[in-house]
Amino acid sequence: MNYKHTSIAAHRTSLGLAAVTLTMLGAAGCHTDMWVQPKPKPQAESDFFVDGQSNRPPIPHVVDRAHLRTDDAYWKGIRGVNVVDGKPAGAVLVDEIPSQVYDAPEYKSAAGDKKELLAKVLDRGHERFNIFCSPCHGELGDGNGMIAKRGFSVKVPPRNYNTERLRAMPIGHFFDVITNGYGAMTPRAFQVDQNDRWAIAAYIRVLQYSQHAEESDLKSDEISKIDQPAAPAESSKKTGEGERK
């Protein structure tokens, strides 16, 4: 008789276990509770906003009072804007890196030493240039990047920076080109941060120097290195920096 009892109990247990396991499987399979919360997430769809997006654009005509972009040199790369007869006039492109750039947290570790700071900014510019610009303009800024070679040049080729006109341009112009675009080059403000745009602009000047260096600009030990094919960007970059100071 004992037998019967165990058997039923065993059936119960196994049924119970099966039920628990199935419930657990079910729970793992269809989680509707906390797995998908109705909070807006970056780039996600939203059924709340009319345009169906969680990312919200700024409301038209709002003024960000805490971050008023009043410093034209830093935000637009120009200075000395006046209003004459209701039109802006007298703007001059700036030709040095605005001081706000040096205050950025990524350069804090070099605070104080102006030379070291500049080197840091240029290094950052070098890195960012290679990410965002070299596909078209090439690592030397000669307009021969991979995308240019793949057919981009057929309509409007990416500009070679090493021309008389662009060498004479203040770096504020480069900042403006990245921010607002120029002809066939679309604006990049959405892609490249404000401070990085300045770092890149400064680095373009370095590239121009490096591609336009005279033999007299070099130290003698550098001249002896020239015939060796090793790392052209590195050695020429140093020359450029030297000249800036």
Applying CB under 8 A, the residues found at the interface with other proteins are 3-4, 6-7, 10-11, 13-14, 17-18, 21-22, 24-25, 28-29, 31, 34-37, 39, 41-43, 45, 53, 130-132, 135-136, 146-147, 150-152, 154-156, 184, 186, 188, 190-192
Q: Which is nearer to other proteins, 201 or 218 (CB)?
A: 201
In the list 120, 124, 126, 137, the residue contacting ligand HEC (rule: CB under 6 A) is 137
Smallest separation, CB 147 to ligand HEC (Å): 5
Smallest separation, CB 94 to ligand HEC (Å): 15
Q: Which is nearer to other proteins, 112 or 151 (CB)?
A: 151
Q: What is the DSSP secondary structure assignment for residue 169, as one 8-state letter?
A: S
* Cβ 239 vs Cβ 222: under 8 Å: yes
Residue 16: count other Cβ atoms within 10 Å of its Cβ. Answer: 10
Integer distance in angstroms from the first to the last C-alpha of the chain?
A: 102
DSSP 175-224: HHHHHH-BTTBPP-TTTS-HHHHHHHHHHHHHHHHHHT--GGGS-HHHHH
> Which of these ranges, 1-9, 10-18, 178-186, 208-216, lies near ligand HEC under the rule CB under 6 A?
178-186
Size of site (CB under 6 A) for ligand HEC: 24
Query: Is 149 near ligand HEC (CB under 6 A)?
Result: no
Handedness of CA 46, 48, 54, 56 (dihedral sign): positive
